[in-house]
Amino acid sequence: MRPAYSPGSMTCLLAIAPSSYHYHHARLAIDKYAGVRVRVAEAFAASKGRYGYRRIKAMLRTGVSEKAVRRIMAEDGLVAHAPKRRRYSSYEGETTPAPDNLVNREFTAERPNEKWLTDISEIKARDGKVYLSPMIDCHDGKIVAYTAGFSPNAELANRMLVKAAETLPEGVKPLVHSDRGCHYRWPGWLDLMERYGLTRSMSAKGCSPDNAAAEGFFGRMKTESVYPEHWEKRTRDEVLIPGW
């Protein structure tokens, strides 16, 4: 009879205590989120089990709170699983002087091409590994440019930097932040940074939170695309799609 009649008006009309209504309502075990529960399950299935409660909430576009979505998913056993992998590391020691950490964990930017992040991550294939090197804009998370190959060498990183720098408007020179990987300390990278007038910034040694936004991108990419699609069962040539 809602919304014409509220529980309060009905209990008054029937001359019963509101507590009696709530008591019997609870005994009936009526699920006020029954409709939402179905939509949550459908959204979780559509994501192939990859999304957590925050992204499911964003997909629903309803007034239901994140807390309610989290509780529904927990009650229904909808848990996004991602196998743990040993992270690829390119650190080879302090080969050249490292610049200061100018980003200082502030992974936001007021405008495009103000602050860029980069890193390299490995993707396991059936017959080896593929390495991905992107450039990420802190303004909106856009992938400015990326390269991929069978070896995490200087050419992979340098080629990506050239592709990213060539997209810049005249006079725009972003800050480029990275970890202390050897790719960002070799002469080729340093020469390109100087050629395009870009400013270097580096994380502290062995401190992954200093480049957390780049780490987060790789985590989401693998959770949503790599692991569920079982790229480890594909060949490197199949993983290395044309254009990478």
pLDDT at residue 89, rounded to an integer? 54
Phi, psi of 238 (to 5 degrees): -75, -40
pTM of the model: 0.62
Q: Which domains does the chain have, with CATH numbers?
A: 7-75 (no CATH), 115-239 (3.30.420.10)
Q: For residue 191, what are its two tokens?
A: 């020469």
Q: How far does Cα 15 stand from its chain's mean position?
A: 56
CA distances from 53 to 33, 35, 65, 74, 212 (A): 15, 17, 10, 9, 21
Give the pLDDT confidence score for residue 241 in this predicted structure.
67
CA distance 108 to 175: 12
Exposure string over 119-136, b if 16+ CB within 10 A, otherwise e: bbbbbbbeeeebbbbbbb
Q: What is the pLDDT of residue 29?
A: 62
Per-residue pLDDT of the chain (244 residues; tens, 9 = 90+): 767 888 888 888 888 888 887 777 777 666 777 788 888 888 888 888 888 888 898 888 878 888 889 988 888 888 887 655 555 555 555 556 788 999 999 999 999 999 999 999 999 999 999 999 999 999 999 999 999 999 988 999 999 999 999 999 999 999 999 998 888 989 999 999 999 999 999 998 878 899 999 999 999 999 988 998 899 999 999 988 654 5
